[in-house]
Amino acid sequence: MPLDFKITTSETNSVPVISVDGEIDIYTSPRLTESIGSAMANHPKAVVLNLENVHYIDSTGLGAIALSAENLSTQGGRLNVVCTKPQLVKIFEVSGLNQKNVNIYDIEAEAVKNT
């Protein structure tokens, strides 16, 4: 169904990996912020956010990601985002987020390795 939304959290080499399925907008982004927040509770060096199954994001979603990235960097960590969809990459570029503390990767393994 079009508006279904799901977040799953797993761990690879002690790096928390958050995978999102669905659309990130004003309604769903609070759940994303919350999930990243929980992952940060153990003070990891980094959190990987996998957006391969996200087919939509807007400024609200970017805002949530930017805020989480800021919080992470405050405690010395970084946010690595896995994102391949051209439409999403374009939005990240327009926002300028990828030039700040959000790092974009094509492949989850790369995002995990670079933590």
Partner 1 sequence: MTPTVETINLEIPCASDFVGVVRLAVSGIATRMNFSIEEIEDIKIAVSEACTNSVQYAYEDKSQGRVYITCNLYKEKLEIIVEDHGKGFDMSEVEAIKANKEGEPMGDERSSLGLGMTFIKSLMDVADFNSTKGKGTSVRMAKHI
| Residue 13 token pair | 């080499």
The radius of gyration computed from the CA coordinates of the chain, to the nearest angstrom, equals 13
d(CA 112, CA 81): 10
- Position among 7, 12, 31, 33 found at the interface with partner 1 (CB under 8 A): 33
Binding pattern for the stretch 34-53 against partner 1, x by CB under 8 A and - elsewhere: --------------------
Pick 29 or 115: Cβ nearer partner 1? 29
Q: In the Cβ-directed half-sphere of 4, how many Cα atoms lie within 13 Å? A: 5
CB of 100 to partner 1, least distance (A): 8
Q: For strand 15-24 and strand 46-57, is the pairing parallel, antiparallel, or unpaired?
A: parallel
Per CB under 8 A, residues contacting partner 1 are 1-4, 23, 25-27, 29, 33, 56, 58-60, 62-64, 66-67, 87, 91, 94-96, 100
